[in-house]
Structures are given as structure tokens and as C-alpha cells.
């Protein structure tokens, strides 16, 4: 019940306060392309995004999913936006007709989600830009939201204290769709070779939070969640609205 109340507060309470508070949110979805229509899809998708989703709240970025259940698919990321911006998204007949040129090459669209950035749990090195992202999706147990937030806070504190070159940002799902993806921690990076480097995370964490703190954090994580899934992504700028 507490989980349901929490989601209701996010979904509807944010509508009531957005006049006093600005926020960052993204609409995301997975797009599964027909295997024999990849070239046709990319041409139509690129043209559509550059024509209708190149700026403002309707700007679209595109990621390619490297691993996990949606490996081989694309992720559409529109925003940053607010719920009010959704009322003004392109939807006229010309837009719908143009989107109709994309859909014949699409197997299916799935997992339409709305992710709101937690501004208190957001670390981005100044001037940084990333070509890849490591996504960690968490299924949070009912009644454990506050405890889980404290755990995420301790992680972001390490990024800030150590001034890591990679980013760490936390987004909360705005609706409970039943897929077990309540929160996502997003780490931006540029080279896969980083995974071959010596792992100093535990030492770094305990230098900030004290000896033995990492084990306590991991034990608490087990108590707070019903699991975590990971996903690697690569940015595909040429398919996005601004074709950067």
C-alpha cells in the first residue's frame, strides 16, 4: 500500500507543484526493429526525428541496447520534459503520417516509461559527455523507499568526494507498470576498457564512509530490494533529432 501511495504522490502530486518547482523527466521506450528492415527503419526514423524531434521538450535521443532482455533494440529518449509538455508534443496529422512511415519497419514498441531525475542524487563532471551508459534498474520493496534512498545517497557521495570522471544519476519511475523497474541508477562512461581497470570502488567507498561500510550497504540493499537488472547502452547520435 505504501508503494502505491508513493507512486500516486509522484504521478499526481508533481502535477500540483510543478508551477513552483522545475524538474527533469524523460519519456523512454524500446523499439524492436524487424531484422530485415534495419536500413529502411534507420532512414525513416532519422528523418522523422530530425523533422519533428530536434529541439525543446520534444527532442529525441537514441540509444542502442547492448545486453539484457532488450539487447539489439533501440531506446527512444524524449526530453527533458514535464507532464505539461506532453500535452504539447507533436501530434498533428502531418506528424502522425510521418510516423506512419517508420512503423512498417518496427516489430513492436514496449516499456513506455517516464523517468524523473532526483536532483539530489545527480553527479555529472563539469564539461563531460558520454557515449555509453550502464543502467542499473532496482525493484524496491514496499516500505523501503526511505532506506533505499539513503543507500543511493551514500553511493553518489563517493562519486562527488572522489570526483570521478564518470557520472552517476538517479531517476525514479513515475508509474508502477509492474515490470520491477522502480528506480534506475545511470552511470555515464566512454570506454569499455574501464571495466578492465583495477576495481577500487570498495576502498573508495570505505574511505568516505568508514571501514566495513560497504558490506553493511550491500546487506541493507538486499533488505531493500527484490532484485536488480543491468543494461549497457551506446548512444547513436545520428538517429536522434539533432543528429549531433
CB 86 within 8 A of CB 27: yes
For 108-119, the pLDDT digits (tens) are 999 999 999 999
For 30-85, the pLDDT digits (tens) are 999 999 999 999 999 999 999 999 999 999 999 999 999 999 999 999 999 999 99
Class in CATH terms, 23-239 = alpha beta
Query: Taking the domains of the chain in order of start, what are their residue ranges?
Result: 23-239
Give residue 236's pLDDT: 97
- When pLDDT is cut at 50, 70 and 90, the band that residue 243 belongs to is low
pTM of the full structure = 0.89
Instruction: For residues 26 and 92, give the distance between their C-alpha atoms in angstroms, rounded to a whole number.
Output: 21
For 127-180, the pLDDT digits (tens) are 778 999 999 999 999 999 999 999 999 999 999 999 999 999 999 999 999 999
CA distances from 179 to 137, 140, 172, 176 (A): 10, 11, 14, 8
Closest CA to 116 of 174, 76, 195: 174
Give residue 52's pLDDT: 96
188: number of Cβ within 10 Å: 21
Instruction: For residues 68 and 177, give the distance between their C-alpha atoms in angstroms, rounded to a whole number.
Output: 19
Amino acid at each position: 500500500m505504501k508503494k502505491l501511495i508513493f507512486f500516486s504522490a509522484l504521478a499526481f502530486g508533481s502535477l500540483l507543484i510543478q508551477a513552483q518547482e522545475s524538474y527533469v523527466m524523460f519519456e523512454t521506450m524500446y523499439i524492436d526493429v524487424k531484422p530485415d528492415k534495419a536500413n529502411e527503419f534507420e532512414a525513416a526514423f532519422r528523418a522523422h526525428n530530425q523533422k519533428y524531434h530536434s529541439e525543446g521538450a520534444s527532442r529525441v535521443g537514441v540509444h542502442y541496447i547492448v545486453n539484457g532482455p532488450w539487447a539489439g533494440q533501440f531506446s527512444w529518449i524524449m526530453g527533458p520534459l514535464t507532464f505539461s509538455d506532453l500535452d504539447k508534443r507533436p501530434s498533428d496529422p502531418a506528424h502522425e503520417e510521418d510516423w506512419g512511415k517508420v512503423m512498417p519497419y518496427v516489430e513492436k514498441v514496449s516499456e513506455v516509461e517516464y523517468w524523473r531525475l532526483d536532483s539530489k542524487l545527480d553527479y555529472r563532471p563539469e564539461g563531460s559527455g558520454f557515449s555509453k551508459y550502464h543502467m542499473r534498474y532496482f525493484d524496491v520493496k514496499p516500505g523501503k523507499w526511505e532506506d533505499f534512498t539513503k543507500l543511493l545517497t551514500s553511493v553518489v557521495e563517493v562519486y562527488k568526494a572522489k570526483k570521478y570522471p564518470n557520472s552517476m544519476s538517479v531517476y525514479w519511475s513515475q508509474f508502477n507498470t509492474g515490470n520491477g523497474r522502480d528506480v534506475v541508477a545511470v552511470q555515464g562512461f566512454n570506454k569499455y576498457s574501464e571495466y578492465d581497470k583495477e576495481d577500487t570502488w570498495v576502498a573508495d567507498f570505505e574511505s568516505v564512509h568508514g571501514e566495513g561500510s560497504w558490506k553493511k550497504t550491500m546487506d541493507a540493499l538486499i533488505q531493500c530490494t527484490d532484485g536488480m537488472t543491468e543494461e549497457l547502452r551506446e548512444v547513436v547520435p545520428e538517429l536522434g533529432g539533432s543528429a549531433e
